[in-house]
Structure 1
């Protein structure tokens, strides 16, 4: 690594939200403690933040609404590094920008925060459950619990506050965000991926810098190979599915012990594509020996192509008022009533 990369203060671009700055400070602490480099957080207001503040729906927008302003600041030289929730990152590459590290992942599962400490199964029929994700909406409806699922937006305080005020009976959120905010004591249930597969990349952070910046070599030391392989598989599946369908998608890849001494570790990928009402779903799972990110991506592409061949692209994708969120699920390939 160059002397300049090792001695300069690294300016880290972050969204202004409490969760975003907490995540960025987590990466900043890794840079300071593990790499011995000084850091500075630079807050950037994104288009997604502006629309949320104004209460403007994100209908018709795509993945990346919280990303572009950070990338613009990076390319302009206003910051040296951008930290993103990986599930927010578009799956297509950005010219001049490199994803240089994916640190160890938080628990990627979804959780319930409900009144009176209830689980989803304990909520009475007709209870109102809020989520800002078509992926979660479809999987909630697929469970057949008789709850009413309504769109909800805003930060963690806003969403949980609607439960505390009695406006909602429960909300579904990502566990990782609550963990990073130190609020896991508010969780009333952690959802098994068999019930609800998370969004591709959920729980992981992406660290980007400018292509060719000597800092990239230094930041690569923050990368966790297992996490990077898992999210590469999930995101490759998402990218392939986005080319063939617009239905809610869930996916999760995990590093597991293999059966072959020559390949002691495997990458196991599960994915699901659902109709927006949750009535139909196409599920598939696959595994391969754990390799580099290219091998992981190949696994994701192959699984997505199987999902499309099984009819994932023909599911009903009537939109609702919730912003779209990526995701993946699994099982053996079948189209069934969920």
Structure 2
């Protein structure tokens, strides 16, 4: 192939990610022309409603997947945490490049950590998972919805709309951004979203892309993502539910920690499982079953009932 097209969202971070893969492809295949097709997704269009209340899965990928299926694009680069566990027939996320930092960051103008925030301070986040874990650690804080791209969120922080905000560390690193003060919210105290910090490359299962893209795959990262997505699949969860998962492995054994709670951080269920890396996805599914049996089904029922 002399020319391929990458479908991507149009945000600054999404374009960084797509251009990162573009440069790796052009470096690997001399003379290859790589174009970007920018697509506005449902999640990009609806900015005045909390993500959890928009409903549905695939808010940031559906229109991009349509471009893959109708041939306008050859591959798509996603933030893997945005990708639903069920893909349209004929498509596959077969390549996971090396994962970036999977932690979250607390960003502020005046306060250097969660502990330093004053009583009743406002914390902005679009994620129920982040909000629930913040509330569990500091029940006195007011968690408020925060939408928009990375730059918009940082601007709202600097303009004083929030005392602090929580965002993925990976996005800050990739765009080389920083806030006046920041601190990591990291395992074991604060668990990341499923596949946070990982990119996923999606393409047609029966096309030529699998072989062409194989050099980009990072197997250690892929194993982590498989275990974490197994947990998410087992809970049938999406952005409407406070679900977190954190997988580690030594090349032979996967250790997975899973988390589920009510939206206010109450009734947390945190459980662990481990097994061989070849069974990473099944280990995630099994851990989800254990969480459901421990009361997770009641939490899911309550959370969906609130929406």
TM-score bracket, shorter-length normalisation? over 0.9
Secondary structure of the residue aligned to 1:284 is: strand
Matched with 1:42 is 37
2:257 maps to: 270
Q: Is the 8 A contact 1:237 1:304 kept in 2?
A: yes
CA distance in 2, matches of 1:319, 1:20: 32
Distance 1:43 1:247 in 2: 29
Contact 1:276–1:319 (8 Å) recurs in 2: no
CA contact (8 A) 2:123 2:141 kept: yes
Match in the other structure for 2:127: 133
Tell me which residue corresponds to 2:115.
121
Q: 1:35–1:218: 8 Å Cα contact kept in structure 2?
A: no
**CA distance in structure 2 between the aligned counterparts of 1:318 and 1:93, rounded to whole angstroms:** 22
1:60, CA displacement in angstroms?
A: 3.9
Distance 1:173 1:318 in 2: 24
CA shift, 1:117, in A, is: 4.6
What is the match of residue 24 of structure 1? 18
The within-5 A match list for 1:4-153 is 7-36=1-30, 37-52=32-47, 55-58=48-51, 59-144=53-138, 146-153=140-147
Stretch moving more, 21-30 or 138-147 = 138-147
Question: Which of 292, 296, 305 matches 2:280?
Answer: 296
- The answer to whether the 8 Å contact 1:31/1:38 transfers is no
Matches of 2:277 and 2:204 in 1, distance apart?
A: 28
Gap runs ≥5 in structure 2: none
Q: Does 1:283 align with 2:278?
A: no
Matches of residues 238-277 of structure 1 in structure 2 within 5 Å? Answer: 238-242=232-236, 247-256=241-250, 265-277=252-264
Alignment partner, residue 210 of structure 2: 216
What secondary structure does 2:172 align onto?
A: helix
Shift of 1:197: 0.8
Cα 1:142–1:286, aligned 2, differ >3 Å: closer, same or farther?
A: same
User: What count of residue pairs does the alignment treat as equivalent?
Assistant: 302
TM (norm. structure 1) is 0.84
Query: Pairwise CA RMSD of aligned residues?
Result: 2.0
Alignment of 1:318-333 (within 5 A): none
Show CA shifts across 1:125-169 (max 9, x none): 111101101111111111135211111111112211122111110
Whether the 8 Å CA contact 1:70–1:82 is kept in 2: the answer is yes
Equivalent residue number for residue 306 of structure 1: 290
Separation of aligned partners in 2, 1:220 and 1:95: 21
Could you tell me how far apart the structure 1 residues matched to 2:201 and 2:82 are?
A: 12
Give the superposition deviation at 1:319.
Answer: 6.8
The separation in 1 between residues aligned to 2:175 and 2:78, in whole angstroms, is: 16
Alignment partner of 1:188 out of 182, 188, 204: 182
Matches within 5 A, 1:159-178: 159-178=153-172
How far apart, CA to CA, are the structure 1 residues paired with 2:76 and 2:148?
Answer: 22
CA contact (8 A) 2:108 2:179 kept: no
Matches of 2:151 and 2:306, distance apart in 1: 23
TM-score by length of 2: 0.93
Residue 117 and residue 124 in structure 1: after superposition, are their counterparts in 2 closer, same or farther (change >3 A)? Answer: closer
Aligned partners of 2:36 and 2:178: how far apart in 1? 25
Q: Contact 2:95–2:200 at 8 Å: present in 1 too?
A: yes
Residue 248 of structure 1 deviates from its aligned partner by 1.4
User: Displacement, 1:242?
Assistant: 1.6
State the Cα distance separating 1:187 from its structure 2 match.
5.7
